Structure 1
Amino acid sequence: GGRIFLQLWHVGRISHPDLQPGHALPVAPSAVKPEGNAFTETGFKPFVEPRALELSELPALVEQYKTAAQLSMQAGFDGVEIHAANGYLLDQFLRDKTNQRTDAYGGSIENRARLLLEVVAAVTSVVPSERVGIRLSPISPANDIADSDPKALFSYVVQQLNRYKLVYLHVVEGATGGPREVAGGFDLQVLRDLFQGIYIANNGYDLEMAAKARQGNGADLVAFGRPFIANPDLVERFKAGAALADFNQATLYGGGAEGYTDYPTLQAS
């Protein structure tokens, strides 16, 4: 049988006052405005400059992750995945382009990793670690994020994560939803070698690439995202060697059923 893990998100600055209670500013490690647009109920609007979180607010933030993890399990999920990728809040704390703090949560790699590791400690205090995974995107520029030394940063993060015996490390290899090669990137197999649990590779894989990654032991598992949207029976199509349907880019963030739940299976098409 399958297992369903719920992904725990906090998007930090990748939000908009229209989406916040009382039209409050989104929060972030530092007041650094991202380039790009937020998806709101009235369409895309430019991101705003976020409010820097106060030191006194961080314990409650960690507690929110803990509560969310508990509620996930009560709701019947098999586990949770801590989303620390794609330029969202935990990633914003990790990287020096977005984290310009001068307190215990900014500056050195150890300080920038502090919030993430506190969240991992909190979540694993209420959910068994064999039911907790984590998602990282070490070289992705998604949501206007970057780091001056991603190899050193993420090598440290992964080594520290080993203390918590998480079931898996889920890595976006390359740019989120984009090319696998990123300027100034590094060989992510370094992280695969460092991590002591299951390594899940993700981003731009097809069946042939996935098979090669497994044969060469470059990954324990391979995750498919976009192909699953247009191919609800993706596994069956892989088994049968059938052609894959392509997804409609225009409806990916539409919010309706079209382009989400209306792709036919192979038998129905």
Structure 2
Amino acid sequence: MTDNLFQPFALNETITLDNRILMAPLTRCMADDELVPTQAMADYYARRAEAGLIISEAVIIRPDGQGYPNTPGLFTAAQIDGWRTVTDAVHQAGGKIFAQLWHTGRVAHPYFFEKSGTSDVLAPSAIAVEGSVPRMRELSYQVPKAVSHDEITQLIADYGQAAANAIDAGFDGVEIHGANGYLIDQFLHHGSNHRSDEYGQSPENMARFPLAVVDAICARIGNDRTALRVSPGAYFNMASDDRDRAVFDYFLAELEQRDLAFLHIGIFDDAMQFDYLGGSASSYVRSVYSKTLVGVGSYSAETGSAAISNNQFDLLAIGRPFIANPDYVAKVRQGNELVSYSDEMLTSLV
């Protein structure tokens, strides 16, 4: 019933995956206090190298991108060296791994980066996200600063540098985190982008910064090693707005021309329906984007395999079951029972 998951899949002429099962990015907060990956992280990823592709936990591109404790970075020499230990371990185990590049935008908190010389939380507009920092509930989110043109220019350059750092660290490519209510996604939704300049109001303007980041990274490492995660449906740290459909209609049409390695849906449960998208996030994207698409969001191997057979997407990303089952791919192939995920598993890397 799941045979199609074990077929090789060519992303392009550069990268061919051994199977269609991806390990989804899973934030674990297990880097050291300097945000350097540890040996335990290298062991953790290497045990899951049978995935057709591992997408790393989100990796912050610079200090003010941090919104959670002990999330790894990719902006210092020590962090690059730490990731090299991880990628070497994955490659020695026969796997491939992309780095997910991340800036949390208004979900950042200066508690994590004041020592770097700034306390500004950056976002498209000065609109705070509600609530407090997960795992550190004593920290409430702050009203961010609307980024200036000069700051936007620097952010684009820093994304490009982070991609180059990822290749230096041995990653096979990068996935830009443009989803789940973080910085890039904040530009793409009317609920978080109230700008009146060339980065706001119209679909073309709201997509300007995200497309500039994509283009900068493609210029540094090649479009064949560049992927993107998107959340056309606002659902996490973001208010819904029917006008977002027009933004993503434009954005996805532009991405179609860039021939990326893949596009990855950002959703926790792909059964979620969005009226302004006419259904699920993945069905909407598939209807307007013809290139390689990764589905995710509470699929099992069986339901994901069926979705691929039905041409709903091309590749299946699996999240929490990979935490509970380092040998997930082998178990599915052999028809063995999976260990059920539980939240207690988040406290250790196994």
Which TM class, normalised by the smaller chain length?
0.7 to 0.9
Deviations 1:126-158 (A, max 9, x none): 111111100011114111343333332222111
Matched, 1:118 2:209: no
Question: Which structure 2 residues correspond to residues 1-269 of structure 1 after superposition, within 5 A?
Answer: 1-22=94-115, 24-39=119-134, 43-172=137-266, 176-178=267-269, 180-186=271-277, 187=279, 188-249=282-343, 252=346, 258=347, 260-262=348-350
Shift of residue 44, structure 1, vs aligned partner: 4.9
Q: Given that residues 159 and 195 in structure 1 are in contact (C-alpha distance below 8 angstroms), is that contact kept between their aligned partners in structure 2?
A: yes
Q: Tell me, in whole angstroms, the C-alpha distance in 1 between the residues paired with 2:328 and 2:241.
A: 35
SS of residue paired to 2:162: helix
The change in CA–CA distance for 1:251 and 1:231 in structure 2 (over 3 A counts) is: closer
- How much has 1:116 moved relative to structure 2? 0.3
Distance 2:191 2:302 in 1: 36
More deviation in 95-104 or 177-186? 177-186
Contact 2:102 2:177 (8 Å CA) reproduced: yes
Alpha-carbon offset, residue 11 of structure 1 = 0.3
Residues 105 and 115 of structure 1 are in contact (CA less than 8 Å); yes or no, is this contact kept in structure 2?
yes
Q: Deviation of residue 51 (structure 1)?
A: 1.1
CA distance in 1 between partners of 2:306 and 2:243 (Å): 29
Output the aligned Cα RMSD: 1.9
Residues 36, 178 of structure 1: alpha-carbon distance in 2 compared, 3 angstrom cutoff: farther
Tell me how many residue pairs correspond in the alignment. Answer: 252
Question: What is the TM-score of this pair, normalised by structure 2?
Answer: 0.68
1:213-239 superposed Cα distances (whole Å, 9 cap, x missing partner) = 111111110100111111111111111
Q: List, as ranges, runs of 4+ consecutive aligned residues in structure 1 with deviation greater than 6 Å.
A: none
Q: Deviations over 1:18-74 (max 9, x none)?
A: 11224613110001011122146x555221111111122111110000000111001
TM-score by length of 1: 0.87
Q: Does the 8 Å contact 1:92/1:145 carry over to 2?
A: no
Amino acid at match of 1:197: K
Task: Determine if contact 2:97/2:173 at 8 Å carries over to the other structure.
Answer: yes
Partners of 1:185 and 1:79 lie apart in 2 by 33
The AA in structure 2 aligned to 1:129 is N
CA distance in 2, matches of 1:84, 1:73: 19
How far does residue 194 in structure 1 lie from its aligned partner after superposition?
2.9
For structure 1, which segment, 92-101 or 154-163, has the greater mean C-alpha deviation from structure 2 after superposition? 154-163
Hey, what's the Cα distance between the residues in 1 that align with 2:201 and 2:344? 40
Offset of 1:185 from its aligned partner? Answer: 4.9
For residue 184 of structure 1, what is the amino acid of its counterpart?
Answer: D
Structure 1 unmatched ranges of 5 or more: 253-257, 263-269
